[in-house]
Each structure stands twice: as C-alpha cells, then as structure tokens.
C-alpha cells in the first residue's frame, strides 16, 4: 500500500486514503508543483489473483477513458506501472457516492432522482454513440459520485466493453447482481446499449424507493407499491427499463431521455387532466358535428364519423412511442366505435397484451368483454376466424391466474370459447380459407380437446380426495386416450408439417411437455399396453429438435421448459 505522505513518481504527494474495493485502494494526492488535487487508484500484484488478467483489464480501462471527454466522466492523466503495483492517476471527484446517501438517508427525493437520471442518460448516450460504442455494464449507486454542486460523475470503468457488432455473445459475465441485466449472465447474446438501460432502471428503482435489488425479495416491484406518492409516470419508465427482454425496453438512451423529460405526461394525474380537456373539446366538437349531421344527412355522416374515429384511435394505438397503457386505451376505444372493419385494432390489442408473455385475468376480462363486437362489427367470416384463432392461441400460451407465471394448462381451458368461435366462423368461410390447415376442424378440434382434457385434469386435482376418483377413471369415461396418443406420438408428425402454424406447434410443445411428465402415471393407466416410454422420449426429442431450429424469444423459453420436462420424465421412469 502507498504510505500517507509518500511521493509517487516524484510529483504526487499522497494525502489520505479515500476508498477501497475488492482489489484496489484509492488515495487523494496533490501535485505540489501544480497545486492540483488528484485521485490515485492502486492495484497491488500481491493482493490480486491472476494479476496479469487484471492488469490487461486496467490497461483497457485507462486507454478507453483517455479517449473520452464528457463533463460527467473522470479524466485519466497518468498511468504508473512497476513490478509490484499498477497506479492510475485521475481526476479527484469531490463528493460522495450515492450509495452513501442511501445508507444515511434512505430513499432520495423523486425530483433529485429524475435530474440525476437525465445526467446519467446523457453520459450513457455519449458512451453508446462512440465508434465503437462503449457499454458501461455496471451502473449502480456506488459508482455514481454526487458532487457538492448537485451534479454527478460516473466512475469505475472496470466492466465496460466496446460493442462488437458481429459478436454473438460476451466472453465474460460481468456486472453487479441485482442491477445487472439478464443478458450479462450469458446465454442471451452480447450486451448492448439496452443493457445499460436496464442497469440504470434498477439504479433508479433503488434510489427512489430505498429498496436494494440485491437484497430480498430480489425483484424490482412497481415503485408505487412501495410509496404511493411517487409518480406513476416514473413507475412506468422504470418498469420499461427493467424488462427481461431487451426488445421490450427503451431502445436507446435518447428515447429514455425523452420519456424522463416528459414523465409527468404519462403520469395518471396528468392524463386525467388531459382527458377532461379532451372531453371538453369533444363536447364542443359534437355540437358542431350535430349541425353538420342535420345539414348533410345523419346516416352517412355517422358512418364517416365512426370510420374517422376508428382510424384516429387505431393510429394512436399502433404508435409504439406511446406507453402501452395509452395504446391499450386507444385500441379499446377504436373497437368500441363499432366500425365495420376493426380486425387491426383487435389484433394490435392482442399483441400488446402478449408482449410480456402474460395474459392477466384483467386483460382476459377486457378481451372477453369485447368478444361480442367481433361478431357484430367484423363483416368477413375469414377475419373473424383469424382473430379468434390468434386470441385463442395467445390465451392458451400466456394466461396466468396470478398475473406472474403463464400456465398453458389453465390457459387451454380459458381459450376454448375462442377456438369454438374460430370453428364456427371458419365453417362459414370461403373454400380457399378452409384449405388452410390451421383453421381446419382437425387442428381446432385438437385445441378444443386439449382444453377439455385440461379442465378435467384440473377438476380432478382439486377434488380427488373427496370424489375418490382418479384421472385414469376420467380418461376412461371420456375417452381421453386420443389426447394422450396425440401428445405422445401424433404431434411429432405435425411438427414436421410446414403448413401448420409455428405458434400452434410452440404452444402445444409447451403444454405437452408439462402434461407428459406431470401426469405420466395416469397416461400409462389410460393407454395401457399401447403406452410406450420410448415413444414419449422420442416426442420430447422431436420437440427439442424443432424448437432448436427456431429463433424467437418464445421458442427459447419453451425449449428450456421442454428440456427440463424431459429430464424429469426420465428421472421418474428410471429403468
């Protein structure tokens, strides 16, 4: 360690120790000739494993910082290396880390946090727009220095990296658990600008709530569930920053900066105020419209008004720069205009609900309440069948009773009404549409039968003790051999049929993989001598082979579930 009062490199007098980490100590020093204070970061060879690896990392860090020039970043002025130590001389940042403010005072004032967030957004945007882009990867309160003037400085670039466009993944997994994005731990491609956006969201969450994401319950909750006085606009921003899927986050710091500068506009209170203004405008407009209707004819103008209202709402609902709640409200209003071609509004609403791969009971209730308008307003039977099929598959895959974890077994029961409607409308459609196997009785009946099958499985699990019946009894009574036979064998053929919808295959893979292992004994009883362990294993292997050939977020999640189910099935049937 450097001695207090010692002279480094003949010019830097060590004044005091100001901080230390796992492998380094930071000192305050003064250049006596220039009368300027600096910080010296010391890494000693004898205190670090694999010093050469650490040394190379420090060289990368210093070279990176030397090229940067931003008011919220420290400057490197000197690097001193000898046999025992590696010293970095940099700007001395007066102030304390935000982690200290949290320790001493707890949650920070919202207006301060938003101002710091804007400064951090600005410096991250600067890093991301270098060529090549620099990804910081370790945003957390301990790495943010709060200066006496209220501005902040981002420190410690030990985990930063330059973005390599052709890289498929990072070579190392770095960052601080709790603040780090899921992709920083491998298996989800390389880190990019959206990784820093996640880390920033986790940091803002800690600052504004005082709840450390590194500690139990190890999750980022809606901030207003912790402090109802906080802005719902800021809550939405933090939720979007910390989405597990990078595609669902803000895609750039400039986009996030815009949201932070307008957070009050997505706050519930602001929107209610604006809605009152809009209602006042609509009321005034309605008076004028009434006069026009009287002049030009009620029926034709009403039809044109519905069309204009519909497309105005639809345009807002399809605008991805708006928050999902705003888009949802506009799409529901579009559907309720009762315009005769509301297919696009229904499908866009379905996709918004499916974005987080969870259909909550409230979302399900909304969709079901709008269902009669499909029959009433969409004129084409083909479109009616298509939208019912799309919604049915979405519910089958993503429905969740608790709003947290999708359960395709329960989802299959909730989707039956939509598949029944699909079948009804498809049978009224033209011959060309009926030639599409996805809307055929064969495929729709499979989905309906799986829903009926799930209903009985769930009912039996809930009442098995009192009823004294077994799933095998239910299977025998209702001839569910077909369902077992399909899941454990015939589905393999459908996986190889390119004409069958990919979404159908992924959904049934997810459902079937769980059912086959979790109800294995009941399946054996139901199928009797026609049961084949090898056939079930082959079904699992074909599901895995199929899913490995698809590149989508859904398929990746389901692939992991199928692999896990296969292992559990093997373990339960050890030979």
pLDDT attached to residue 121: 95
Let me know whether 250 and 141 are in one domain.
yes
Residue 347 sits in a domain of what CATH number?
Answer: 1.25.40
What is the rounded average pLDDT for all residues in the chain? 82
Q: Are the C-beta atoms of 241 and 249 separated by less than 8 Å? A: yes
For residue 269, is pLDDT > 70? no
Could you report the per-residue pLDDT of 291-343, keeping only the tens digit for each?
554 544 444 545 667 787 888 888 888 888 788 888 899 899 888 887 767 88
For residue 480, is pLDDT > 60? no
Q: Is residue 461 part of a domain?
A: no
Among the three residues 65, 91, 117, which one is the final residue of a domain in this structure?
Answer: 91
Residue 133 sits in a domain of what CATH number?
Answer: 1.10.510.10
Q: Is residue 46 part of a domain?
A: yes
Q: Which residues are bridge partners to 80 per DSSP?
A: 87
Tokens 């409200």 correspond to: 329
Q: Is residue 309 part of a domain?
A: yes
Question: Virtual CA dihedral for 474, 476, 478, 482, nearest 10 degrees?
Answer: 120
For residue 114, is pLDDT > 90? yes
Distance CA 371, CA 336 (A): 11
Residue 33 sits in a domain of what CATH number?
Answer: 3.30.200.20
Distance CA 397, CA 407 (A): 7
Q: Which of 83-92, 161-170, 200-209, 243-252 has the lowest mean pLDDT?
A: 161-170
Work out the widest C-alpha separation in the chain, in whole angstroms: 95
Distances (CA, A) of 561 to 188, 396, 457, 502, 564: 16, 16, 20, 17, 5
Describe the crossing of helices 533-548 and 553-572 by its angle, rounded to 10 degrees: 160
Distance CA 152, CA 129 (A): 20
Let me know whether 262 and 334 are in one domain.
no
Distances (CA, A) of 75 to 23, 91, 102, 554: 21, 6, 26, 44
Q: What is the extent of the structural domain holding 320?
A: 297-442
Distance CA 408, CA 394 (A): 10
> DSSP states of 461-497 as a string?
HHHHHHH---HHHHHHHHTTHHHHHIIIIIHHHHHT-
Q: Are the C-beta atoms of 257 and 122 separated by less than 8 Å? A: yes
Q: Pick 107 or 378 by higher pLDDT.
A: 107
Let me know whether 162 and 33 are in one domain.
no
Q: Is residue 285 part of a domain?
A: no
Domain count for the chain = 4
What is the rounded radius of gyration, in angstroms, for the C-alpha atoms of the chain? Answer: 30
Could you report the per-residue pLDDT of 505-543, keeping only the tens digit for each?
888 888 888 878 777 777 777 777 777 788 888 888 999
Q: Are the C-beta atoms of 565 and 540 separated by less than 8 Å? A: yes
pLDDT attached to residue 298: 47
Helix (H) or strand (E) holding 18: strand 12-20
Let me know whether 100 and 248 are in one domain.
yes
Burial of 138 (0-12, 13-18, 19+ CB in 10 A): buried
Q: Which of 391, 376, 283 is nearest to 335 (CA)?
A: 376
Q: Is residue 275 part of a domain?
A: no
Q: Which two tokens stand for residue 256?
A: 């996030």
Q: Are the C-beta atoms of 114 and 66 separated by less than 8 Å? A: no
Let me know whether 257 and 145 are in one domain.
yes
pLDDT attached to residue 492: 80
Taking residues 232-255, report their average pLDDT. 93
Given pLDDT bands bounded at 50, 70 and 90, which one contains residue 280? low
Catalogue the long-range contacts made by 313-316 (C-beta closer than 8 Å, 24 or more residues apart): 313/337, 313/345, 314/344, 314/345, 314/348
pLDDT attached to residue 145: 93
Q: Is residue 280 part of a domain?
A: no
Let me know whether 36 and 152 are in one domain.
no
Q: Are the C-beta atoms of 113 and 207 separated by less than 8 Å? A: yes
Let me know whether 184 and 322 are in one domain.
no
Distance CA 133, CA 67 (A): 12
Q: Is residue 484 part of a domain?
A: yes
Let me know whether 190 and 305 are in one domain.
no
Let me know whether 501 and 525 are in one domain.
yes
Among the three residues 35, 61, 91, which one is the final residue of a domain in this structure?
Answer: 91
Let me know whether 338 and 409 are in one domain.
yes
> DSSP states of 180-203 as a string?
S-GGGGSSS----HHHHHHHHHHH
Among the three residues 251, 266, 281, which one is the final residue of a domain in this structure?
Answer: 266
Q: In 3-state terms, what secondary structure has residue 416? A: helix
- 199's CB contacts (< 8 A; 6+ apart) are 136, 137, 138, 139, 140, 175, 179, 180, 181
Q: Is residue 451 part of a domain?
A: no
Let me know whether 73 and 12 are in one domain.
yes
Let me know whether 113 and 79 are in one domain.
no
Q: Are the C-beta atoms of 502 and 550 separated by less than 8 Å? A: yes
Given pLDDT bands bounded at 50, 70 and 90, which one contains residue 471? very low
Q: Which of 356, 456, 443 is nearest to 399 (CA)?
A: 356
Distance CA 480, CA 485 (A): 9
Q: Are the C-beta atoms of 163 and 132 separated by less than 8 Å? A: yes
Instruction: Provide the percentage of residues in the chain whose pLDDT is more than 70.
Output: 84
């Amino acid at each position: 360690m450097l001695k207090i009062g010692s002279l480094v490199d003949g010019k830097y007098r060590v004044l005091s120790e100001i901080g230390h980490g796992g492998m380094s100590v930071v000192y305050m020093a003064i250049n006596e000739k220039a009368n300027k204070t600096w910080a010296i970061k010391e890494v000693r060879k004898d205190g670090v494993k694999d010093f050469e690896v650490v040394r190379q990392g420090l060289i990368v860090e210093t070279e990176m910082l030397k090229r940067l020039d931003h008011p919220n970043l420290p400057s490197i002025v000197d690097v001193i290396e000898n046999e025992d130590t590696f010293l970095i001389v940099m700007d001395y940042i007066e102030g304390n880390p935000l982690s200290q403010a949290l320790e001493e005072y707890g949650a920070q004032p919202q207006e301060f946090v938003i101002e710091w967030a804007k400064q951090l957004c600005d410096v991250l945007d600067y890093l991301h727009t270098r060529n090549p882009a620099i990804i910081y990867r370790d945003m957390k309160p301990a790495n943010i220095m709060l200066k006496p003037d209220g501005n902040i400085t981002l420190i410690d670039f030990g985990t930063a990296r330059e973005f390599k466009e052709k890289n498929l993944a990072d070579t190392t997994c770095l960052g601080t658990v709790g603040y780090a994005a899921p992709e920083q731990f491998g298996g989800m491609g390389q880190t990019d600008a959206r990784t820093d956006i996640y880390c920033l969201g986790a940091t803002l969450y800690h600052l504004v709530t005082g709840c450390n994401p590194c500690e139990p319950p190890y999750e980022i909750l809606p901030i207003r569930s912790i402090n109802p006085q906080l802005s719902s606009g800021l809550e939405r921003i933090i939720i979007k920053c910390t989405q597990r899927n990078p595609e669902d986050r803000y895609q750039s710091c400039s986009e996030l900066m815009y949201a932070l500068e307008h957070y009050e506009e997505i706050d519930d209170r602001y929107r209610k105020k604006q809605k009152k203004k809009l209602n006042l405008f609509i009321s005034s407009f309605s008076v004028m419209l009434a006069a026009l209707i009287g002049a030009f004819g009620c029926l034709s103008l009403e039809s044109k008004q519905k069309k204009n209202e519909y497309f105005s709402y639809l345009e807002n609902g399809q605008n991805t720069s708006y928050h999902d709640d705003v888009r949802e409200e506009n799409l529901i209003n579009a559907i309720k205009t009762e315009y005769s071609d509301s297919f696009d509004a229904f499908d866009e609403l379905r996709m918004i609900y499916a974005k987080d791969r969870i259909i909550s009971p409230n979302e399900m209730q909304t969709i079901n309440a709008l269902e009669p308008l499909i029959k009433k307003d969409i004129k084409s039977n083909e479109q009616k069948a298509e939208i019912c099929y799309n919604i049915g598959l979405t519910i089958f895959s993503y429905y969740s009773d608790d709003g947290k974890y999708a359960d395709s077994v329960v989802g299959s029961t909730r989707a039956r009404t939509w598949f029944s409607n699909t079948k009804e409308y498809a049978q009224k459609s033209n011959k060309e549409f009926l030639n599409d196997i996805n809307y055929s009785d064969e495929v729709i009946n499979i989905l309906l039968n799986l829903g009926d099958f799930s209903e009985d499985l769930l009912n039996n699990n809930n009442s098995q003790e009192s009823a004294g019946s077994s799933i095998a009894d239910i299977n025998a009574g209702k001839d569910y051999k077909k369902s077992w036979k399909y899941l454990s064998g015939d589905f393999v053929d459908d996986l190889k049929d390119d004409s069958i919808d990919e979404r159908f295959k992924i959904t049934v893979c997810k459902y079937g993989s769980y059912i086959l292992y979790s109800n294995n004994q009941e399946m054996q009883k139901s199928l009797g001598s026609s049961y084949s362990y090898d056939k079930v294993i082959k079904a699992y292997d074909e599901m895995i082979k199929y899913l490995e050939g698809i590149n989508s977020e859904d398929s990746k999640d389901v692939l992991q579930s199928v692999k896990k189910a296969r292992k559990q099935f093997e373990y339960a049937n050890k030979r």
